[in-house]
Amino acid sequence: GAGVSQSPSNKVTEKGKDVELRCDPISGHTALYWYRQSLGQGLEFLIYFQGNSAPDKSGLPSDRFSAERTGGSVSTLTIQRTQQEDSAVYLCASSLEGTRAYNEQFFGPGTRLTVL
Amino acid sequence: GEDVEQSLFLSVREGDSSVINCTYTDSSSTYLYWYKQEPGAGLQLLTYIFSNMDMKQDQRLTVLLNKKDKHLSLRIADTQTGDSAIYFCAETGAGNNRKLIWGLGTSLAVNP
């Protein structure tokens, strides 16, 4: 399968612990996005990567959240000192920019994070 | 600020048409999108429309765009039970066609 993959699919952690969420984009996709979807809420933009750089990280809710992307491919979203309000589904998407004017984003299945 | 609004629920009978509405605030959006999220599946792009168009048709789907009123709609003809899903409207953020601004999603229930 050549789709976007995310791991783990489910993560349960205790308040105060750090977590790392991983995203493998579609091969060759230069853009990568992280979103958060809370119960009853829409998709909340977190951060956007173009290659390994993040021109837009305006959606990160606090300095406990950080993300990196290496080799223009895999990305890791790290949440430090997790809080209960961090519980949500974290979605990753990738897109192939430069060949089309519109931006079709391909989504992974998400990581469901539960902070106890 | 940028905002996209949708009604949260819609229920129709199988075979009827469904119309899902969306309003947005950013008049500079170049593209508007409809994504579909089925239970247990990821979000998928359903269709999109360029802002200089007022209608786009793709098989059972018709997208109408009223740019003056900043209103977007998705019509599904002959709705089937397999169309039951959450439908998200999204617009490109101001000055940046990478970042999408999303509505909360409309949950469509199709009753036999």
Per-residue pLDDT tens over the stretch B32-57:
999 999 987 788 999 999 888 899 99
pLDDT higher than 80, residue A40: no
DSSP state for residue A51 in the 8-state scheme:
T
pLDDT higher than 60, residue A12: yes
pLDDT higher than 90, residue B77: yes
A42 and B97 within 8 Å at the Cβ level: the answer is no
A38: three-class secondary structure by DSSP: coil
Which of the residue ranges A32-36, A94-98, B32-36 would you say has the lowest mean pLDDT?
A: A94-98
Q: Are B88 and B35 in contact (CB under 8 A)?
A: yes
Residues whose CB falls within 8 Å of the CB of residue B48, separated by 6 or more in sequence, listed in order: A102, A104, B31, B32, B33, B34, B56, B63
B102 and A43 within 8 Å at the Cβ level: the answer is yes
Mean residue pLDDT of chain A comes to 90
Q: Select from B31, B44, B103 the Cβ nearest to the Cβ of A103.
A: B31
Q: Select from A50, A97, A107 the Cβ nearest to the Cβ of B43.
A: A107
The percent of residues above 90 in pLDDT, for chain B, comes to: 66
DSSP state for residue A19 in the 8-state scheme:
E
- Residue B11's alpha-carbon distances to A42, B8, B20, B103, in angstroms, are 20, 10, 10, 18
Interface of B with A (CB under 8 A): 4, 30-31, 33, 41-45, 48, 50, 88, 90, 92, 96-105
C-alpha closest to that of B35 among B6, B68, B67: B6
Strand order in the sheet with A75-79: A5-7, A19-24, A75-79, A65-69
pLDDT higher than 90, residue B18: yes
User: Phi and psi dihedrals of B102, rounded to 5?
Assistant: -110, 145
B31 and A102 within 8 Å at the Cβ level: the answer is yes
Position B21, amino acid: N
Which of the residue ranges A96-110, B17-31, B76-90 would you say has the lowest mean pLDDT?
A: A96-110
Pick A76 or B52 by higher pLDDT: A76
